[in-house]
Amino acid sequence: RIVFPNYYHCKAVSWQARDYLGIHKLKYVTAPKDGEIIFHKNFLWGIDKVPYDKVIVCEGVMDALTIGYGAVHTHGVKFSKAQVDELASFNEVYICYDSDEAGVDGAKRLASQLSHKTKVKIIKVSDKDLNSCSKQEIEDVKGLII
């Protein structure tokens, strides 16, 4: 597994890990609740590295890393009120969840929670998820916030 620390306000508050070999039953695991300073669903991964008044919201860490600064993720398609409130502080929110049924439904739910608070657009990518797309498509998505 690759382990990713979760920072919030420049402080390590949790961690998540991804199986990149496909040998574990669970692709992603997160720190147990008693091992987190802040529960991972109560903040957006990458929020400290958003230098713009626009943000791209991804489903998972690999897609957020594909975009880099300006991207966050919600630790899956389910999100919390705290995450919605944090996203509402941006002028524009671009939701780029995976293109499977769970991702499409999650993106719609998130957009409906945000649409009366800020400008929201759902980005549909051509592949299963953002990090599987062509370099040009990734650059086009990045261009939305730069």
Note the pLDDT tens digit of each residue in 65-105.
Answer: 999 999 999 999 999 999 999 999 999 999 999 999 999 99
Q: How far apart are CA 80 and CA 57, in angstroms?
A: 13
Q: Where are the alpha helices (DSSP H) in 49-134?
A: 61-67, 81-87, 101-114
Beta pairing, strands 92-96 & 71-73: unpaired
Strand partners, 27: none
39-64 residue pLDDT tens:
999 999 999 999 999 999 999 999 99
* 8 Å CB contact between 145 and 94: yes
Instruction: Say whether pLDDT at 20 is over 90.
Output: no
Q: How far apart are CA 69 and CA 55, in angstroms?
A: 9
For residues 94-118, give the mean pLDDT.
97
For residues 103-131, give the mean pLDDT.
96
User: What is the enclosing helix (H) or strand (E) of 28?
Assistant: strand 28-30
79: tokens are: 């999100």
Strand partners, 3: 17
Nearest to 128 by CA among 92, 101, 105, 110: 101
- Give how far the C-alpha of residue 36 lies from the chain's centroid of Cα atoms, to the nearest Å: 19
Neighbour count for residue 40 (Cβ, 10 Å): 21
Would you state the pLDDT for residue 5?
Answer: 95
3-state secondary structure of 126: coil
Strand partners, 16: 4, 30
* Mean of pLDDT over the chain: 95
